[in-house]
Every structure is written in C-alpha cells, then in structure tokens.
Structure 1
C-alpha cells in the first residue's frame, strides 16, 4: 500500500499539471460514471494529500477523494515532467522492491525538473517511468475507474479502495477523523496532539503507528523502521512509552516523510553518502534497518531479524536491540 510520501508526491503531480486547468472527467470502466459527470468540464483548483488520502478540488466546490488502498495506482500520460529521481533510476523507482544500479543526480522532486515531455508515469507504491506516448490521449488500458484529461495531460485511476465526490463539509469530516500529517499539520501543536493520543492508549505502539486516526501516512515499512530507529519494542503499550520517546517518534516521522517526498524512496538509514546513497536508492536491501530482512543479521547487534504477524501485517524487528 502506498505510504504517505507517495500520496503527497501524486498530489504534487496533479498540482503541477492539472491545477488551474479545465478537466474532462470520465469513467472508461463505467463504475464511476455518475461521479465523473459531476466533475466533467470544471477547473481543478487544488490538490492536496493528508496521510494516505488525496483530495482534488474543482471550481464548483466539489472534491474528488481517492484512497489507493492495496492495489490502486495513477497512470499519468502526455506532457508530464519526470521526477529527477525516476529519470536517474532509468524509470524504475520502487519504494519497496526496486533492484539495480542508480546513476545520476537526485534533485528535489517536482521542483527541479526539466521541461515536460510526452511520456507515461505510473505512481502508486512504486513509481515507474514508461515509454513515450505516440498519440494523445492514449487509449484507456484495463479497468480505468476515472480518467482526468486536460488538453495535454491525462491521469487514469485504477483499483482504488475509495473514490468519491465530496462536498467541502464532507471533506472536512473525513480529514477530522485522521491523525496529524507533518506536511499538513505543522509545528508543536501537531506533535502535542500525537503525543497526547499515544500516551493514554493501552494499545501496543506497533499498532498505534499504523492507526490513521492517531497519525497519518505511516504504513508497514515506516512502522518497522521507526520502531527500530527508536529501539522500541513494538508490543509496548502506548501509555508505557516515555513521553520523550513518543515525541521523538513524531520528530522522526517529520524527518523521514520529508526525505520520502523529496527522493521518492523510503530511505530510513542515516549517514548514507556517495556509493552507499546510490545503492540505497537502487535497492531496498541497502535502504532499511529491519524491513523485509527476516533471518538476516541486525545491522547493529548481529541478531537475526524476526518477522511476525502483527495487526494483520508483517512486522520486522530486532529482538535484542528492541527488547
């Protein structure tokens, strides 16, 4: 499932290529025909992400809300910019399972990109730059729930968990149920809100970090990595975690989320420079402390990393450093 940094990057792509333009909306698959008709022909005026959810606002005060879930993805085509980190990776920029060598610069995402070009770009848990577009708009491929089309760019949505048209009040109601997102809820107030929620809960911290009503955007990878970075046992009840450690978790999430949005990768190991940084961009094996490293030696103490089912997801952790 795409974690928070991926959704923020997708919102940036919409901000760059759709906001300020009149949009044709359709549902090639047919399942969203009524919703698409409500948006068709209107100008997109805003695009934002909160955690794992994205909201696109149109000029008649209706919003398209999308939650990609486990299988959703946006395919962009036409005159689009390719993120520098994607281009340098030869179009293969998987957050969780990319392999190969990356050569090239790694500029800020979507802020230091060259001129648009007619191409394809898939954005979900992984990002992949595809072949050039020969004709525009391209024919829909597969079960496209929603197609958003401008004069030069289109975006096709497939397989989302949620896709609906909301009023402003309905958008506010959805966001009110979400925990703070460091890129939306900035400053000490957000840290205090997260801390106050965690320190009163008997729920294990390894579950609280995945609870989107507690904190927005953290998924399975960031959970495992943040807990290791804090040397925190995943089973510790939130109310038993010292307040300074809880605040440290929030500050670490602020840091890691910014890195993820900038690079397009969940880079969770500190001090990566030169060849090690290039390797980390290219391969998950060089990017994480514990995630997906079952049985491999802990990078700190050498103890084999364990994996267990926890909250319906696979949890990776070190039984010594996180005892």
Structure 2
C-alpha cells in the first residue's frame, strides 16, 4: 500500500493538469460518474494521508480516491493529434482496472484499481478531512493535536501510528523505522511514552517523509538521508540506492545499533519489526 509521501507525490503530478480542460471517462458506478467532470478543468489536487483528492473547476464535485494495495495513478504527457475542440481526437487503449481517465491536450491522467473512487461535495470533503488524523506532510497539520491523540491512548504506539484517524500517512515501513530511530518498542502504550518523545517522533516523521516525497522513495538509512537531503537542496534527482532498513523486513538479523536479533510479529493488519535490545518498552 502506498504510504503518505507517495500519495502526496501523486497529487503533485496531478497538479500538472491544472488549468487544462479535459475529456473525462471511465465506468459509471453508484459513487462515481465521470461524465459529471467531462469538459471541465482540474483546479487542484491534494493528499491527506493515503487519500487523494482531485478538485475540478465548474462543479462542486471533487474526485476522492484511495489506492489500497493495488491501485495506481499515472500522469504522463502525450502527443496525440488534437481535434477542433482542442482535445485529442482519439483515446488511448483502456488499461485493466481503469476507474477514471482525464485526457487533456497535453496530459493523460489514469487511475486504476482504487479501493475508493467516488465524487464528494464540499461537505463530504470537509467530513473526510475531519475524520483523518494530522498528516506530517500537510501544512495545516497541528503537531500538538497529533501528540495529544497519541498520548491519550492506552493502545500500543505501533497500532496508533497506523490508525489513520489518529495520524495520517504513516505506513508499515515508516512505523518500523521511526520507532527504531526513536528507540521506542512498538508495544509501548501511547500514554506511557513521554510527550517530548512523541513530539520528537512526529518531527522525525515530517523529516523522513519530506525526504521520501522529494526522493520519490522511502529513505531512512542515516548515510542515505544525508546524501538525499544534499541532492534535494541542489534540486537534483535522488538515485534509487539499494534499500537499507534498520529493522523493516529484517527479522532475525542483527540490529545495526546494538546487534540484537530483530523481532517481528503481527500487529494489527501488518507485521511490526523492532529490536528488543535497544527499543525501550514504556509502561
């Protein structure tokens, strides 16, 4: 499943279509009628956690998409011949699982296999934002709200970080690596973790996910982070180096910090990874 930084990257690519009218197509469902967006103009796109919203001028509707495990968003330039209406004369072949296509004079947007594909009115958009927790990559995220939600719960911090109503956008890779970096055992109740430690955890989530957004992939290794930040400051692309995680997918292997064997167990719907040697269980 795409983590939050990836969905923010998708929103950025969709924003390339801003100001361009397009031909809207796709299957009509109970929740989504692409014909309502036909001939209109993409005004903006945004992400909140793992949810993608596409706002369209000339209508109250916004497209709301959640990609789940297998969904994808594709945005690419094309050179198709244009008709008198300024739009391509022909459409490209329909890919498997197409939910929505928006074809402008220069760009092709296609969303395939989402688990959520619906049109929301402004009230629906507001309700969505309200039910989702703060997102480390959104400018309107309140750190103190995130910290308070984590600290007031007796649930394990490993569960809280993946609960999108508590905080949004953090997935399994970031959960494992953030808690290792913070030296916090994922079984620790949120209420048992010092508030300052939760504030530091939130800030680290912002830092790591910002690099992930800029790089286009999850970077958590200290040396790779330094190199990636330097490249991003210089506005240069970050190569896809070999993924080098501390604990994620490293069950039974030595912790790079203390040498203890990394452990793993099912926590919620996904597997949690942690080092029992240097990640403290707060009680």
Shorter chain as normaliser: what TM range?
Answer: 0.7 to 0.9
User: Which residue is equivalent to 1:13?
Assistant: 13
Matches within 5 A, 1:103-118: none
Taking the aligned partners of 2:259 and 2:166, their CA distance within structure 1 comes to 33
Computed over aligned residues only, the root mean square deviation of the Cα atoms, in angstroms, reads: 2.4
Residues 1:179 and 2:133 are matched in the alignment: yes
Q: Which moved more, 1:140-149 or 1:33-42?
A: 33-42
The verdict on how the C-alpha distance between 1:45 and 1:279 changes in structure 2, with shifts beyond 3 A counting, is closer
Cα deviation, 1:50-78, whole Å, max 9, x if unaligned, reads 11111111112210001111111012333
Alignment partner of 2:191: what SS? helix
Query: Which residue among 257, 264, 269 is the counterpart of 1:300?
Result: 257
Alignment partner of 1:45: what SS? strand
Query: Which residue among 21, 33, 36 is the counterpart of 2:34?
Result: 36
CA contact (8 A) 1:73 1:159 kept: yes
CA contact (8 A) 1:294 1:307 kept: yes
Q: How far did residue 136 of structure 1 move?
A: 7.1
CA contact (8 A) 1:78 1:137 kept: no
Cα deviation, 1:225-270, whole Å, max 9, x if unaligned, reads 1010100011111100001111011101110111011001111122
CA contact (8 A) 1:44 1:58 kept: yes
CA contact (8 A) 1:32 1:146 kept: no
Cα deviation, 1:112-133, whole Å, max 9, x if unaligned, reads xxxxx99xxxxxxxxxxxxxxx
The verdict on how the C-alpha distance between 1:11 and 1:255 changes in structure 2, with shifts beyond 3 A counting, is same
Taking the aligned partners of 1:78 and 1:236, their CA distance within structure 2 comes to 48
Q: What TM-score comes out, normalization by structure 2 length?
A: 0.86
Residues 1:62 and 2:61 are matched in the alignment: yes
Q: How far did residue 40 of structure 1 move?
A: 1.1
Q: How far did residue 173 of structure 1 move?
A: 0.5
CA contact (8 A) 1:36 1:146 kept: yes
CA contact (8 A) 2:5 2:137 kept: no
Q: What TM-score comes out, normalization by structure 1 length?
A: 0.76
Unaligned runs of 5+ in 2: 81-88, 232-236
User: Which residue is equivalent to 1:92?
Assistant: none
Q: How far did residue 148 of structure 1 move?
A: 1.2
Count of aligned positions: 263
Residues 1:283 and 2:235 are matched in the alignment: no
Q: How far did residue 282 of structure 1 move?
A: 2.5
CA contact (8 A) 1:201 1:238 kept: yes
Q: How far did residue 30 of structure 1 move?
A: 5.1
The verdict on how the C-alpha distance between 1:270 and 1:32 changes in structure 2, with shifts beyond 3 A counting, is farther
Q: How far did residue 31 of structure 1 move?
A: 4.4
Q: How far did residue 37 of structure 1 move?
A: 1.1
Q: How far did residue 32 of structure 1 move?
A: 7.3
Cα deviation, 1:272-312, whole Å, max 9, x if unaligned, reads 3569x99983222x2x1111111211111111211111112
Alignment partner of 1:251: what SS? helix
The verdict on how the C-alpha distance between 1:55 and 1:309 changes in structure 2, with shifts beyond 3 A counting, is same
Alignment partner of 2:222: what SS? coil
Q: How far did residue 39 of structure 1 move?
A: 1.1
Q: How far did residue 22 of structure 1 move?
A: 0.7
